[in-house]
A and B are shown apart, each in its own frame.
Chain A
């Protein structure tokens, strides 16, 4: 394999990743999965037994559901929609970074007021990724609605 082949393979892979999107029908699958996870999480609040494995599983399923919605195409995915999608990802990324900086200290401050003994500066990957995906989805939805007007 020559250097040129590697370059070409790299370029093709990058193009495939850049264009990767799921069909519109998967959006419903993602929404359904996320809603199902929320319902199970709420139901678990009212039960005594909660196996240790279930929370990470539900967190991952929630992220998967949101990701599926996020990468599913609109009915007509034209250049304008692609631009709105890019804008929403950019804002979500920037706010995600700010969230990572600020949120642990906010949580710590609130914990200090309520339970000073257990107060810690911490944050999970689930919180950050859920925040970013939700911001992206909400912003994209708002931008789409705005152009309907």
Chain B
């Protein structure tokens, strides 16, 4: 699974810490999602989608082999 979290964050000019605070997780969690080490839950994906004002599908997409 790949994502455009870093790009979306840059568009809103948010740091990892600020984004983490907005959705109530740790900065490490945001970092791990951005570096594709962790696939977030549906709840967290929906929270991210609400912050960026985009659908979950626009932020997360499947890769070959998923």
Give A residues with C-beta under 8 Å from B.
74-76, 78-81, 83, 144, 147-148
Contact present for A79 and B44 (CB under 8 Å): yes
Residue of B nearest to A149 (CB): B31
What's the nearest-Cβ distance from chain B to residue A122, in Å? Answer: 42
Interface range on chain B (Cβ under 8 Å from partner): 10 to 19
Chain B residue numbers with a CB within 8 Å of A78 are: 24-26, 29
B54 to chain A, nearest CB (A): 21
Stretch touching chain A among B2-10, B32-40, B57-65: B32-40
Q: In the bound complex, how far is the Cα of B10 from the Cα of A121, in angstroms?
A: 61
A79 to B47, CA, bound (A): 13
A-B contact count (CB 8 A): 35
Residues of B within 8 A of A144 (CB): 28
A80 to B24, Cβ gap below 8 A? no
Closest to B23 in A: A78
Closest 8 CB pairs of A and B: A80-B29, A78-B25, A76-B26, A147-B28, A147-B32, A78-B29, A80-B38, A79-B41
13 contacts between A and B (CB under 8 A): A76-B20, A76-B25, A78-B26, A79-B29, A80-B26, A80-B29, A80-B38, A80-B40, A81-B28, A83-B38, A144-B28, A147-B28, A148-B31
Question: Among B20, B25, B37, which residue has its beta carbon within 8 angstroms of that of A79?
Answer: B25
Nearest A residue to B24 by beta-carbon distance?
A: A78
Partner of B40, one of A79, A147, A148: A79
Measured in the bound complex, the distance between the Cα atoms of B38 and A30 in whole Å is: 30
Q: Are B25 and A147 neighbours in the complex by a CB distance under 8 Å?
A: no
Chain A residues near B43 (CB, 8 Å)? 79
Most chain A beta-carbon contacts within 10 A, residue among B20, B28, B32: B28
Chain A residues with CB under 8 Å of B40's CB are: 79-80
Question: Closest CB-CB distance, A47 to chain B, in whole Å?
Answer: 45
